[in-house]
Amino acid sequence: KYPSEVNGKIGAKVFFYYANYKSGKPTKTKADWLTRNELDQILPERYNKSVKEFLIEEAH
């Protein structure tokens, strides 16, 4: 639940990290490791557009 000063607003602190999973067995975590395509599928369109503006292009 958000504090009273932000009631009526939708939002949360969300952090985005760039990472590449290499190998090994991952442990359980509350984080979601998503590809750009997965973000397209789960994020609302307007929010996804904003997120795409700061994502760094991946080098292959």
pLDDT digits (tens, 9 = 90+) for 5-32: 655 666 667 777 777 777 887 777 777 7
Alpha-carbon gap, residue 58 to 60, rounded angstroms: 6
Which pLDDT does position 5 carry in this prediction?
A: 62
Instruction: Determine the length of the chain.
Output: 60
Put simply, whether the predicted model's pTM sits higher than 0.75 gets the answer no
In the chain, what are the domain boundaries?
30-60
Distance CA 18, CA 10 (A): 25
Asked if 48 and 13 count as a contact pair (C-beta separation under 8 A), the reply is no
What is the band of 41 on the pLDDT scale with cuts at 50, 70, 90?
Answer: very high
The rounded mean pLDDT for the chain is 76
Backbone angles phi, psi at 26, to 5 degrees: -70, 150
Range 40-59 average pLDDT: 84
* Spatial separation of the C-alpha atoms in residues 40 and 19, rounded to whole Å: 18
